[in-house]
Amino acid sequence: MEISKNSTQTFIRCIEFFSGIGGLHYAFKQAWSNGEVIASFDINIVANSVYKHNFGKNPITKCIESLNVDDIEKYEANCWLLSPPCQPYTRGGKGLDDQDQRAKGLMHLIEILPKLSNPPEYIFLENVLNFEKSRSREKLIIQLYRMNYEIHECLLTPLQFGIPNDRLRYYLMARKKTIIYENIGENIENLEENYFKRSNTNIHRSWPFEYIVRPIDQRSSCFTKSYGSHHIFGSGSLIQTKKLEVFARLHTFPLKPNNSDNFMNNLNNIQDQILLPPRLYDSIKNSSSTNYLEFPDDVSIIQKHRLLGNSLNVFVVAELLRCVLFNY
């Protein structure tokens, strides 16, 4: 459904699954002004305390794989936001994919989708590189295809959005089609041949808007939750800083201004130079309605690093929501 810039925005009611510290929630607030996250789910108690601290709502700690149709339909949500555990798909993991215990929640949501009387109009999913090769993704795509969703998949890095952080991630955006095709069932049999064998061409690897960026000659790579622990080898890139807000800024979480930090000032200046039609990045950053990311006093530095390392890039997700999924 296309929405004119001059029309009234559709009111969007989101359920946020695997909510963590609320990266998807922040992104949704930046992408869409007429809506709310009405419920969130996560079993990580520390992450939930950060979420409650910043959004005033306690995520539900009920395991996602235990949810039934009534548990989900009672929220009358028309949008699902998902950032399922990445361990089943990471290059350093065991490669168990859909057989991994941590994939149970996602598998359950895929199975429950067609049982809903009103499936969500919008679905957004974020995960790591290699998810695009997984059986989990294949099951998700087939289910969405059966249910007549328009699907867009991307492998993108914040570098493509002018953010000096090389963190390639998989993104899926699915939106219910308004036209129902009678031959969908017949096409399912040919889906593997027609879709998965051409997966490299179906997945977008460049951001559709063209930017000319002149950033400082510094960049960083992926951070993992192993920061702050003794697990160094194989844990990903390292960042040398005593100021955690720099780490959070690379993920473009909204933070309270800090004029004393030269690195952050430089990064802000870079972002201010990037035109993001039809709006400037600083119009988001300085929005009076922004919820700043803050941590409760009882969250340790190790826990902060782990939570941020497991999170996502807020600005990248916000732009994908706004420009692709909600098509505004």
Residues annotated as catalytic (active site), given as ranges: 86
- Token code pair at residue 229: 């622990």
Cβ burial 128-144 (10 Å sphere, 16+ → b, else e):
bbbbbebebbbbbbbbb
Round to whole Å and give the CA distance between 47 and 26. 14
Helix or strand holding residue 204 (H, E): strand 203-204
Distant-in-sequence, close-in-space partners of 278: CB < 8 Å, separation ≥ 6: 5
Contact indicator for 231, 305 with CB cutoff of 8 Å: no
- Token code pair at residue 60: 């539900």
Helices (H), 115-155: 135-146
Round to whole Å and give the CA distance between 29 and 284. 10
Round to whole Å and give the CA distance between 50 and 57. 10
Round to whole Å and give the CA distance between 148 and 98. 23
3-state helix, strand, coil in the chain (%, to 5): 40, 15, 45
Residue 16 vs residues 20, 197, 328: alpha-carbon distances, Å: 9, 31, 21
E strands, 85-193, in order: 122-128, 149-156, 165-166, 169-176
N-term to C-term CA, the chain: 10
Tell whether the torsion through CA atoms of 23, 88, 69 and 139 is positive or negative: positive
Cβ burial 289-300 (10 Å sphere, 16+ → b, else e):
eeeebebeeebe
